[in-house]
């Protein structure tokens, strides 16, 4: 799965902070470790050399090895050992002579002195050996306190590195939000334009880079709005100009229809075709006029309406049984006239192209904000997924509507009326069986 821009910015800042923190803290830790070990070794070497001289002087004066070790001043937690005449003498029992590294004594015999780090029982030590005329002097220094300091410092480095990663990620997330905020506004504006709100414009913020995008978007929205307005005016004007002559033609055709009984059979058939086509064209002109009035953003007439009663009236007006209606009574705040036209067109579409309405359900959601959902089921052949995407476009007709009357404007009116009411209409397969299901979802409002 590809990450979004905000996630990528956040991750980039976090990883960059982590790399910098690891580089800085790791280098600091390594240098500090080397420096502290070097300082401890130098101090131990100096101390061992001083103590070795003191032990050698005591042995030269005739003191026994044990007495010679007693003459060495006790400083810190180091342990002194003497190897004289093949026998070991020591001031403590922390490190036995057998635990000393063999390499240490061999190097001391050849080089006159040596130092080496080793471990006993999991604890680190540093041994410094110095060759004496009478034998060998060894002093062992514990390094556990220094190793504990390194462990604590290592954990501190890990914690600080993690904190740096978190802070870098937080800064990256904030930067990502700041970067995407103007783009989100552009996206929201584009969605509003796609939904039919051509009046949306983006605010000019004074940013030299972003204002170019905002200006281009505003110019595009202005051009789209101007073009749509011209098309709407053209459609309205043409429809209005056609209405009067069509009314005259329709009147003449209906007059001929009333006299078809006295006409020859061939002429009567021509009159039937003429009347049917003139009525179809007249209805098309009326639908175009209504689409023009709907898209012209005329004022809505909001009122509190009993939705179930309104649905029952739509069915009764079309001679359909109200038993097709199911659901509970609900009050909504809407434009009753527009809603009646929406449901009427859905019912007419089902009756004309879907084999007839089989069921209408009215349900209300319980989540906020509350919505009412009206579904209209038919028993037709259903609608293909490819057709569903364009079914609400003007003059679009599904494969099931071939051979039937209608210009394909009814569902376009449904979509435009729904948009004005802040509602949404979709179409899909009827989950209860054969046919299609049209779903109309609208807010309940402040009923």
Which of 172-176, 207-211, 402-406 is predicted with the least confidence, judged by mean pLDDT?
402-406
Q: What is the pLDDT of residue 236?
A: 65
* Contact (Cβ atoms closer than 8 angstroms) between residue 403 and residue 338: no
Q: What is the pLDDT of residue 302?
A: 84
Question: Is the Cα torsion angle 200, 201, 203, 208 positive or negative in sign?
Answer: positive
Task: Give the tokens for residue 77.
Answer: 């937690």
Q: Which of 149, 145, 115, 117 is nearest to 46 (CA)?
A: 115
Return the axis-axis angle of helices 208-258 and 144-194, rounded to nearest 10°.
30
Q: How far apart are the first and last CA of the chain?
A: 44
Q: What is the pLDDT of residue 404?
A: 52
Q: What is the pLDDT of residues 29-49, one digit of tens each?
A: 889 888 988 898 898 888 888
What's the whole-number mean pLDDT along residues 387-407? Answer: 62
pTM value?
Answer: 0.47
Question: Is the Cα torsion angle 233, 235, 238, 239 positive or negative in sign?
Answer: negative
Asked whether the predicted pLDDT for residue 90 surpasses 70, the reply is yes
* Contact (Cβ atoms closer than 8 angstroms) between residue 210 and residue 182: yes
Q: What is the pLDDT of residue 33?
A: 86
CA–CA dist 37, 16 (Å, integer): 31
Place 412 in a pLDDT band, splitting at 50, 70 and 90: confident
Q: What is the pLDDT of residues 176-225, one digit of tens each?
A: 777 777 778 877 888 887 766 777 888 887 777 777 888 888 888 888 87
Q: Chain-wide mean pLDDT for the chain?
A: 81
Task: Give the tokens for residue 442.
Answer: 């609208």
Q: What is the pLDDT of residue 60?
A: 85
Instruction: Strand 325-327: give its sheet, edge to edge.
Output: 325-327, 357-364, 371-378, 436-443, 424-429
DSSP one-letter code for 309? H
Q: What is the pLDDT of residue 326?
A: 92
Q: What is the pLDDT of residue 407?
A: 55
CA–CA dist 165, 173 (Å, integer): 12
CA–CA dist 257, 248 (Å, integer): 14
Q: Which of 119, 138, 123 is nearest to 45 (CA)?
A: 138
The DSSP secondary structure of 378-406, one letter per residue, reads E-SS---HHHHTTTTSTT---GGGTTSS-
Q: Which domains does the chain have, with CATH numbers?
A: 5-149 (3.30.450), 223-295 (1.10.287.130), 303-443 (3.30.565.10)
Which of 144-153, 312-321, 360-369 is predicted with the least confidence, judged by mean pLDDT?
360-369
Q: What is the pLDDT of residue 111?
A: 66
Q: What is the dihedral of CA 142, 147, 149, 151, to 10 degrees?
A: -160
CA–CA dist 256, 244 (Å, integer): 19
Cβ burial of 257 (10 Å; 0-12, 13-18, 19+) is: middle
Q: What is the pLDDT of residue 401?
A: 52
Q: Which residues pair with 80 in a beta bridge?
A: 139
Residues 6+ apart with CB under 8 A from 381: 355, 399, 400, 434, 435
CA–CA dist 431, 426 (Å, integer): 14
Which of 111-125, 127-141, 303-317, 402-416 is predicted with the least confidence, judged by mean pLDDT?
402-416
Q: Report percent pLDDT > 70 for the chain.
A: 88
Which ranges of 296-407 would DSSP assign to H, the alpha helix? 307-317, 336-353, 385-388
């Amino acid at each position: 799965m590809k990450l979004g821009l905000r996630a990528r910015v956040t991750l980039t800042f976090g990883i960059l902070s982590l790399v910098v923190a690891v580089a800085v803290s790791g280098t600091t830790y390594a240098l500090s470790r080397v420096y502290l070990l070097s300082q401890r070794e130098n101090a131990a070497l100096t101390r061992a050399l001083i103590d070795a001289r003191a032990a050698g002087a005591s042995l030269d004066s005739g003191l026994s090895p044990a007495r010679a070790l007693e003459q060495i001043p006790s400083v810190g937690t180091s342990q002194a050992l003497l190897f004289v005449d093949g026998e070991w003498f020591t001031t403590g029992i922390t490190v036995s002579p057998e635990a000393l590294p063999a390499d240490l004594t061999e190097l001391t015999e050849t080089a006159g002195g040596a130092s080496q780090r080793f471990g006993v029982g999991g604890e680190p030590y540093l041994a410094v050996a110095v060759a004496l005329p009478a034998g060998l002097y060894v002093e062992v220094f514990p390094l556990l306190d220094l190793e504990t300091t390194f462990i604590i410092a290592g954990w501190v480095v890990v914690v600080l590195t993690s904190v740096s990663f978190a802070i870098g990620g937080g800064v990256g997330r904030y930067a990502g939000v700041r970067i995407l905020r103007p783009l989100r506004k552009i996206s929201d504006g584009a969605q509003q334009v796609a939904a039919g709100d051509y009046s949306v414009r983006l605010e000019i913020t004074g940013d030299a880079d972003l204002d170019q995008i905002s200006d281009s978007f505003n110019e595009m929205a202005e051009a789209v709005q101007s073009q749509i307005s011209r098309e709407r005016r053209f459609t309205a004007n043409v429809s209005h100009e056609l209405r009067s002559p069509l009314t005259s033609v329709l009147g003449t055709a209906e007059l001929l229809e009333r006299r078809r009984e006295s006409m020859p059979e061939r002429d009567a058939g021509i009159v039937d075709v003429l009347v049917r086509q003139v009525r179809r064209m007249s209805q098309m002109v009326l639908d175009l006029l209504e689409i023009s009035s709907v898209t012209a953003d005329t004022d809505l007439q909001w009122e509190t309406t009993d939705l179930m009663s309104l649905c029952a009236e739509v069915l009764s007006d079309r001679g359909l049984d109200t038993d097709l209606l199911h659901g509970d009574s609900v009050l909504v705040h809407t434009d009753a006239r527009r809603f009646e036209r929406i449901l009427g067109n859905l019912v007419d579409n089902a009756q004309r192209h879907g084999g007839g309405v089989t069921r209408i359900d009215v349900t209300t959601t319980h989540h906020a904000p509350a919505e009412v959902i009206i579904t209209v089921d038919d028993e037709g052949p259903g609608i293909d997924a490819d057709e569903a995407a364009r079914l609400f476009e003007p003059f679009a007709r599904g494969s099931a509507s071939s051979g039937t009357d209608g210009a394909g404007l009814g569902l376009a009116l449904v979509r435009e009326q729904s948009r004005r009411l802040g509602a949404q209409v979709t179409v899909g397969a009827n989950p209860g069986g054969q046919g299609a299901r049209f779903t109309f979802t609208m807010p309940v409002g402040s009923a």
